[in-house]
Chain A
Amino acid sequence: MAETVAGPAHDVAGTAPEFPMPRASGCPFDPPPGLKELQEQGPLVKVRLWDGSEPWLVTRYAEQRAVLGDPRVSADTDRPGYPTKTSAEAGEGKLSFIMMDDPEHARLRRMVTAPFAIRKVEALRPAVQRIVDGLIDDMLSGPGPVDLVEAFALPVPSLVICELLGVPYDDHAMFQDNTRTMVRTTATPEERGAATREIAGYLAGQIARRLTDPKDDLLSGIAGRVAAGELTHGQATEMALLLLIAGHETTANMITLGTAALLEHPDQLALLRDTDDPRLVASAVEELLRYLHITHLGRRRAVTADMEIAGQVIRAGEGVIMVNEIGNRDPEVFEAPDRLDITRDARRHVAFGFGVHQCLGQPLARMELQVVYGTLYRRIPTLRLACALEDVKFKHDAFIYGIHELPVTW
């Protein structure tokens, strides 16, 4: 078969296209054009990773949900064929239940589901509204421009998850710096290891203190499981670390990416700014979750038994990657998928994943984003970028996509 630029012969070893792929210059919100080409080629294509391995990339929505919902795929990073993201990730320990399979995954996950139930999260809404209003007051009372990441996008989820876990927010510089290192794809195994150990050591201390002096917070709940013999101290620390990291990087990046995207779509921003209908705000949150994509490196699994997907047999020991940024732009599921339209019903997106590992914190993330998107633009109607979009530094070098710094003024 003749080789063409865009047509990888994916059954010939060594010629599969590389993943991840670069985004088109000037288009930071759209998936890489190469990924969309792969989606057109078929639901399953081979790609080549940093270590030369060639897992399957699942390009379409229906097949992504089918694989993520299938018990024959494993989230255990130690399984043969698991597609690792970097050499540092290949070397690290387990990040609690997100890297485990049922039944152990379910056992551990259920220990921390309670605070994320819809009613519990709704009870936090007034407190989140106060946090958001307070940070906006601070921004408005000082001089512009400001970096929206430092002034707003990172403090909102950080204050909320610290409150929920019971971690003193005063220590935020330490765990935010280390979290940043942990999610940087260019960090060496040593840097990643050191950052992980520093936060883990800190959280282990916090948990140890609660063993003797429990409070009314999530860390005390986790400590209680240690006391009851259901968790080792190490497992408890990993779980706390997972919640702390997941609570920070994800929502913060959705706030900055969402703001940048809305500023580039003034008609959509105006709809959101001028509404007092919470349903439209909720719908905007779903659409921005669909349209943007912070988990740009995909959900990764190892196949544990031969399985057939879309007519293709995937063998035990092969890896699979589900990239939600193209799943959420599948024209079979979302009409005119590349258009940002906050009035569409986007609730079926796979931004939080699918299957048993679907994001545990999603009710909290949704509520925080609803408060943020429903407040920020209404309170600062003249909000605008303080630099050209081309000069905004996007996080091509992080496990979680987003924006390093977003200078804004009003």
Chain B
Amino acid sequence: MKVELEADKCVASGQCVVAAMDVFDQDDDGIAILLTEQVGDDQIDDVKEAVAVCPAAAIRLVGA
């Protein structure tokens, strides 16, 4: 599955990094960046958690 991030919505809460360290990181201002767009089956639960906790609804999980 594929992760999409709308960085201009991000409020730099860092919640996605806590939920899925190997998928999300933050730039120098704390704004989220994607480390990978394609996530494996073993990462999907963590990314779903990131989607649920992101206060800005900036993350989406798309695809099959």
Contact = CB atoms under 8 A, between A and B. Distances in A.
Interface in B1-60: 11-15, 17-19, 25-26, 28-31, 49, 52-53, 55-57
B14 A117 contact: yes
A347 B11 CA distance: 18
Contacts of A114: 28-30
A362 B56 contact: no
B11 A116 contact: no
A117 B12 contact: yes
The majority secondary structure among interface residues of chain B is: loop
A145 interface: no
Nearest to B55: A358
Contacts of A121: 14
Q: What interface size band does chain A fall in? A: 20 to 34
Interface string A341-373: 000000110001111111110110010000000
A68 B52 CA distance: 14
B11 A118 contact: no
A355 B56 contact: yes
A121 B14 CA distance: 10
Contacts of B19: 347
A118 B55 contact: no
Contacts of B57: 69
Given A109-B11, A347-B19, A360-B12, 13 more contacts: A110-B29, A113-B31, A114-B29, A116-B12, A117-B14, A119-B26, A347-B18, A348-B52, A352-B55, A353-B55, A356-B55, A360-B11, A362-B15
Interface of B: 11-15, 17-19, 25-26, 28-31, 49, 52-53, 55-57
